[in-house]
Amino acid sequence: MKILGLSLGELSTAALMIDGNVIACVSEERFTRKKNDEVLPEKAIRFVLETGGISGADLDRIVIAGTELNISTHIMRTYSSWKISDYIRSMNDYWYPKLYQKKEVDFYKLFKDKIDLNQAPGPDRWKKLLKNIKGYYSSKDWPHYKSFLHDYLHTLIGTKNVPIVHMDHHTCHAAYAYWGSLSRGEDVLTMTADAFGDGLSSTISVTKKDGGLKRVHQIDANEFTIARLYRYVTLILGMKPNEHEYKVMGLAPYAKEEILKKAYEVFSSTMQVKGLSMVYNNKPKDYYFWFKERLDGCRFDGIAGGLQKYTEDIMLKYISNALKSKKKSKLAYSGGVSMNIKTNMLLHEQAQLTELYVPGSGGDESLAIGACYAYMDSEVGSRSMAPLANLYLGPDMDLAEEKYVMEAARKEYFVKEYSPSLAAGMLAKGFAFGRSVGRGEFGARSLGNRAILADPRNFDTIAVINEKIKNRDFWMPFAPSVLREDLNHYAVNPKDIDSPFMSIGFKTTQKGKEALRAATHPSDATIRPNTVTEKSNKEYYRLIQEFKKITGVGGLLNTSFNLHGEPIVNGSKDAYRVFQKSGLDAIILPNWIISKKEF
């Protein structure tokens, strides 16, 4: 069976599953070069179909994640185009009058300057649709928007003979977590947690006797609000919601207990866990103004630290209660909240948990894959779906493009044929380089194939990459790629939890603190590793092995290969452009090393 899975409206993404195997998955941003792009994923769809060797007419189903989608985030390109000032404007000019003054405000009129009619399928189609739109996220708008999406997709694939179905948002999150995992069976609890999806913010599922997933608990989005809180505190701290929450998490460890105490008390005075439900001592009227007023006078790092501690407390208690209630010892966990790697670190330290699986990039972009799994599980009844052995599901390197770049580079840079030992030697000498080899990673994290790499022992590397290449916030940590067999030398990991997708945090051993110094959090010395095996990524594994032969360290500093504010690079031309515009010393392509310095 051939299924095209789609996540639309936030980091639009397409995935292709053939006979239970995920063949390809990529977000539209990799082609448009606009970070978090919400446009209809035309290029992504064409790519996954081409990778699968099929046409649109060969599909059996198109499965869209979500039973009701929000047109406003799409037509206004909220996630990719809005600035922090636009979010504040929406709070002051739309939400405050609506919530506190009981005034009706026309959202589309207020933000008419943000409406993008020029995106696909073009101004005429969008104008026709807008005539039927009643307001911000109105259920009355959905039938019109749904028809609009279906017409577009049928036109794109060239036939109306492929049925289009919609799967519940959290069903897709759960399917991605469970079916993507190697660990399946009746002792697995599957949990989802995010801000909002089809009216819910969390679900709990168990495995039925026939092997399928069965939802046994759910919480309304207005009751379980931890992700919504994190979003709006991100804005209160002057950062971009729906994107910079990870920066708040990175800032949190710098706050001492006495600094975060006041903010923590504000957060903990609201929602608490009781069994599998959320109860409120004091329910906020909203999640921006209410908290902004009460956090007045709290220091910025204290707010971040208090929020992170509160998040950890809520999630640990909720998940612990769920495991006990359902008598499970293993957890598969997805949704936006699952990307909080510090909470995940505390999770795997819980005595009752024997296995933890957190798939890569568990935000809404992963719903494209989840939609395929969910349809096969609930509609087809298939139990033979393959897990996700790795996330190298994106475009492969084009050799003709690589040759073009290499020949251009020869005119002004140093060029040599690639070998793992040569590249490892350069890293050991202090080179920082970009690596663009093999198929690109799906998701938000670099897993080595579209990566900036450096010696993890050299703390000075942090300043070089931050200032000359990434323009990152000074407090943000880097992460390591580590040989799987060496993980437990560097990480405190008595349960031998694996972390192939940078989705789980770990405390470090003394050896880890020394060997991975530049790839640990500067404040608490924790890491979020990407473990590498010969099976998962042979060429990258060989590079790290060669580095280990020279230095004794089985890991590298690894951060995503992109300029600040851009998506991760897609191919040789993208890689070469970033190399030229940044302070990178060199780049590795499949067959060549291009360097600004002689080597």
Secondary structure letter of residue 212 according to DSSP: -
Task: Kindly tell me the number of DSSP H helices and DSSP E strands found in the chain.
Answer: 24, 22
pLDDT digits (tens, 9 = 90+) for 443-465: 999 999 999 999 999 999 888 89
Six-digit token string for 196: 């909002």
Q: What is the average pLDDT value for the chain, to the nearest integer? A: 97
Kindly give the pairing relationship between strand 21-27 and strand 13-18. antiparallel
Under a CB-based contact definition with an 8 Å cutoff, are residues 388 and 22 in contact? yes
Secondary structure letter of residue 519 according to DSSP: G
Place of tokens 């790697």: 341
Closest CA to 435 of 582, 584, 598: 584
Collapsing DSSP to helix, strand or coil, 277 comes out as: strand
Summarize the confidence of residues 398-418 as an average pLDDT: 97
**Does residue 135 carry a pLDDT above 90?**
no
pLDDT score of 60: 98
Cis? peptide before 456, omega within 30° of 0: no
Q: How far, in Å, CA of 432 to CA of 435, rounded?
A: 10
Under a CB-based contact definition with an 8 Å cutoff, are residues 451 and 560 in contact? yes
pLDDT score of 399: 96
Q: Name the percent of the chain lying above pLDDT 90.
A: 94
Answer whether CATH 3.90.870.20 is correct for domain 399-595.
Answer: yes
DSSP 70-130: -HHHHHTTHHHH--HHHHHHHIIIIIHHHHHS-----HHHHTGGG--TTSTT-HHHHHHHH
User: Would you kindly state where each structural domain of the chain is located, as residue ranges?
Assistant: 2-65+68-82+103-167, 182-359, 399-595
DSSP 524-546: T-EE--EEE-TTT-HHHHHHHHH
Domain 2-65+68-82+103-167 belongs to what topology? Answer: Nucleotidyltransferase; domain 5 (3.30.420)
Q: Do domains 2-65+68-82+103-167 and 182-359 have the same CATH topology?
A: yes
Under a CB-based contact definition with an 8 Å cutoff, are residues 30 and 41 in contact? no
pLDDT score of 382: 83
pLDDT digits (tens, 9 = 90+) for 97-118: 999 999 999 999 999 999 999 9
- Its pTM stands at 0.97
**Contacts (Cβ under 8 Å, ≥6 apart) of 39:** 12, 28, 32, 74, 77, 119, 120
pLDDT score of 464: 86
Q: Give the helix, strand, coil percentages of the chain, each rounded to 5.
A: 45, 20, 40
**Does residue 439 carry a pLDDT above 90?**
yes
pLDDT digits (tens, 9 = 90+) for 254-308: 999 999 999 999 999 999 999 999 999 999 999 999 999 999 999 999 999 999 9
Collapsing DSSP to helix, strand or coil, 199 comes out as: coil
Closest CA to 554 of 491, 470, 501: 491
Answer whether CATH 3.40.1390.20 is correct for domain 182-359.
Answer: no
pLDDT score of 182: 87
How far is CA 155 from its chain centroid? 30
